[in-house]
Copies of this chain bind each other. A is one copy, B any other.
Amino acid sequence: MQEPTFLILTALAAGPQHGYGIITDAGEISEGRVRLRTGTLYTALDRLRGEGLIEVDREEVVDTRMRRYYRITAAGADALAAEVQRMRRGAETAALRLGAAGGLA
């Protein structure tokens, strides 16, 4: 799972959101580091829908502007939880090895 995908799922883990909201949320989650591109976002949303990790929650029209809300599925939450485990273990292992090498150098 790459970072944009991770940020999209994490954004939706807090509750349903529409595309543009995901972009701003992903910026906050990554502490301003990542600005999701619309090309990345909307193709990723289609892909994740196809994989069953997210689904359309509802569609609203606010001031003539359409908003399509997405929500994370149980499968999506499982995939994200698995990714969290992978990241935690990977980070620990890498930190240990970096620390050992730095400590001996």
| A interface residues, Cβ below 8 angstroms from B | 2, 6, 9-10, 13-15, 29-31, 33, 72, 77, 80-81, 83-84, 86-91, 93-95, 97-98, 100-102
Contact = CB atoms under 8 A, between A and B. Distances in A.
Shortest 9 CB-CB contacts between residues of A and residues of B: A13-B97, A87-B91, A87-B87, A10-B94, A14-B97, A84-B91, A88-B91, A84-B94, A13-B98
A13 B89 contact: no
Counting chain B CB atoms within 10 Å of each CB, the highest count among A10, A30, A91 belongs to A91
Nearest to A93: B29
A84 B98 contact: yes
Counting chain B CB atoms within 10 Å of each CB, the highest count among A10, A80, A83, A102 belongs to A10
